[in-house]
Amino acid sequence: MNLDAQLDSYQTTCLFLAAIQSGLLDAIPDQGCPIAELTQRFESRALYAVLSALAGLGVVVIRGDEVSLTPDGYNLNHSMLRAKATLIAECYLPAWRELGDALLGKRNPAMLELGQSPSALRMHTPSQFQALNHFAGRSTKAVSSAFVNAYNFRQSSIACIGGGDGELLFKILKKAPSAVGFNVELFPEELANAQLSDFNARALGHGVADRATLVNGSFFDATLLPTAEVYVAQYVFHDWDDDHCLALLHTLKRVAAPSAKLIIVESPTGDPMRNLHLFVLNGGKERTAAEFQALFDRVGFGSVRRGNAGGVMFLEVTITPRHAFTDDDPNSPTIPAPPDAE
């Protein structure tokens, strides 16, 4: 491995982020424009240096005094790569900068609010939240389709835990035309109404509006988590440490219908950098089927059944026996305090 080249990769990342966040790529029209026009908005020395570097990477083409975007440049500015750049700048880089503090025990990873999925990563403005949903939705679209096509949904009530914008639930309900569904997600308060309107509009477009319900709240909260015959958690458990996973499993025992199923959709383990990324963001990790079974055993669930589809694994386990805890029951699970974000 060329360690020097690995260290220098930050330059390309920062260059792309600067070109997007400054509005430079937006300022270059599809047909191109004279560079002199851009100097009216951008500082000239920095502009020429940035354009030259972007040209060297194939993002723009400079012909004489004019500049235009290449197809790669257009994709960088208009595809999910732009959404990914927002996440890198506003979520990932701040968390990774604190990895050294985590090693020294000075910081507990905490990017997620208690009960949020990755699609609600502390996005407190509409543009940021939409960027995250766009990136998360596009990056998991193939996974969702492969899983839904592979699994036989026979249940009459289905809940997607940490279901983000609801696309997974819509696909499931289209395959299970007699089922009703719930999409459980914790949205920032100031975006809740907008997300509900968007969810309802897209449910109508999928033809499932009369069967799909959005539940805005923490999936750790037994008073909000709906009773269902099957719960689907796609890329949720890997965001949490064992204590929080156990707390969620206990919550499911409190609310699930008798002999309900839990289906966990995750990527196979084996990528150390991906595992580290999950830890950096929220203290999570990827788990093998055996590691999930160990968690299930601790809460009295059944044996896991494993399937594979589209390069991901999905695990099905029966939530049994049902145990209705009361508020003063000493066996009632305690949700760990949210990690300290400071």
Q: Would you say residue 197 lies in a domain?
A: yes
Cα angle 131-133-139, degrees, rounded to a multiple of 5: 100
DSSP H or E segment with residue 68: strand 66-69
Q: Are residues 39 and 155 in the same domain?
A: no
Q: Give me the pLDDT at residue 119, please.
A: 45
Q: Give me the pLDDT at residue 126, please.
A: 55
Q: Are residues 37 and 125 in the same domain?
A: no
* pTM exceeds 0.75: yes
Q: Would you say residue 226 lies in a domain?
A: yes
Q: Are residues 284 and 150 in the same domain?
A: yes
Q: Are residues 211 and 304 in the same domain?
A: yes
* Token digits of residue 122: 């502390």
Task: Convert the pLDDT of each residue in 87-125 to its tens digit.
Answer: 788 778 888 888 888 888 876 666 555 555 554 454 445
Q: Are residues 191 and 268 in the same domain?
A: yes
Q: Are residues 200 and 301 in the same domain?
A: yes
Q: Are residues 204 and 301 in the same domain?
A: yes
Q: Are residues 46 and 190 in the same domain?
A: no
Distance between CA atoms of residues 136 and 118, nearest Å: 8
| Bridge partners, residue 158, by sequence | 181, 230
Q: How many domains does the chain have?
A: 2
How many H helices and E strands in the chain?
A: 14, 10
- Closest C-alpha to 231, from 165, 302, 284, 153: 153
* Contact by Cβ (8 Å): 161, 183: no
Q: Are residues 134 and 249 in the same domain?
A: yes
Q: Would you say residue 332 lies in a domain?
A: no
State the burial class of residue 163 (Cβ atoms within 10 Å of its Cβ: 0-12, 13-18, 19+).
buried
Task: Convert the pLDDT of each residue in 168-189 to its tens digit.
Answer: 999 999 999 999 999 998 877 7
Q: Are residues 168 and 246 in the same domain?
A: yes
Exposure on the CB side of residue 63, measured as CA atoms within 13 A: 7
* Average pLDDT estimate for 250-262: 94
Task: Convert the pLDDT of each residue in 288-323 to its tens digit.
Answer: 999 999 999 999 998 899 988 878 889 999 997 444
* Average pLDDT estimate for 20-30: 94
For residue 46, the domain's CATH number is 1.10.10.10
* Token digits of residue 59: 């993002």
Q: Give me the pLDDT at residue 115, please.
A: 59
Task: Convert the pLDDT of each residue in 195-233 to its tens digit.
Answer: 899 899 999 999 999 999 999 988 999 999 999 999 999
Which domain, by its residues, includes 37? 3-78
Amino acid at 160: C
